[in-house]
Amino acid sequence: MTEAPRTDRKPWSLPLFPLRTVLFPGGLLPLKIFEQRYVEMTKSCLRDERPFGVCMITEGHEVAQPDAPAPTFANVGTLAQITNFDMPQLGILHVQTQGTTRFEVRSHRVDSTGLVIGEVTTIVAEPSHPLPDAYAPLARILGVIAARLGPENFPATTAYDDASWVGYRLAELLPLPLTIKQRMLEVNDANVRLTALNQFLERQGLV
């Protein structure tokens, strides 16, 4: 059994799900889970009401390959809290998750089922502050994207006046390379993130 998430800097154990995506705090991530190791991980997380960790794969595959090593992955990820699930057929889970807190992987091991277990420390949330007036156009662009996605694909709770929330949502939704998205996750300053995103949108002629 993994430990409960900690809010201090002491390491704790967390099952990890390396994926070719970047999950941000507050973001939605639907998953179709069919590998036995992750089905069992999900059942355990549901039973114990605990999250698992999502980390971006840097090399390797999401699905286990014969005689292939476990994938390598970024050492900063985000906790995924299961918000809903369904089993449309035996052995396949459809899971809705939402990102909560960022963490840093200090070390990891692979258990007998092939599941990666990380020893992680919680990353304290970046300081919260209002969205600067200079970045108001970013919030308007985000509103347009949200309307196109529809409410079922966008967080129900919105905070268009919060610098971190706007930056996280744009970073996950804009067509950025995964390596850039990962940097946006690792940045611990909302204004730095917003500046980088604003520069991207300026190059696209959108602001």
Asked whether residue 44 falls in the same domain as residue 82, the answer is yes
Do 112 and 178 reside in the same domain of the chain? no
**Whole domain around residue 180: which residue ranges?**
133-203
Nearest Cα residue to 101 out of 118, 132, 76, 129: 76
Which amino acid is residue 178, in one-letter code?
A: L
CB neighbours of residue 138 within 10 Å: 23
Residue 21 pLDDT exceeds 80? yes
User: 128 in a domain, yes or no?
Assistant: no
Regarding whether 180 and 153 lie in a shared domain, the answer is: yes
Q: pLDDT for 173-207, tens place per residue? A: 999 999 999 999 999 999 999 999 999 999 988 87
Using one digit for the tens of pLDDT, what is the confidence trace for 74-114?
Answer: 999 999 999 999 988 888 999 999 999 999 999 999 998 88
Structure tokens at 187: 């940045």
| Residue 7 counted as domain residue | no
Query: Is residue 74 located within the same domain as residue 38?
Result: yes
> Which CATH number fits the domain that encloses residue 98?
2.30.130.40
Residues 198 and 108 in one domain: no
Domain boundary among 74, 89, 122: 122
Domain end marker among 65, 94, 122: 122
Contact 119, 107 (CB under 8 A): yes
CB 123 within 8 A of CB 9: no
Could you tell me if residue 1 is inside a domain? no
Whether residue 107 contacts residue 134, with contact meaning beta carbons closer than 8 Å, is answered with no
Domain count within the chain: 2
**What is residue 42's predicted lDDT score, i.e. its pLDDT?**
95
Give, for 110, the enclosing helix (H) or strand (E). strand 92-110
Please, are residues 12 and 6 in contact by the beta-carbon 8 Å criterion? yes
How far apart (Å, rounded) are the C-alpha atoms in residues 184 and 22?
10
Same domain, yes or no, for 146 and 187? yes
End-of-domain residue from the set 97, 122, 147: 122
Instruction: Evaluate if pTM is beyond 0.75.
Output: yes
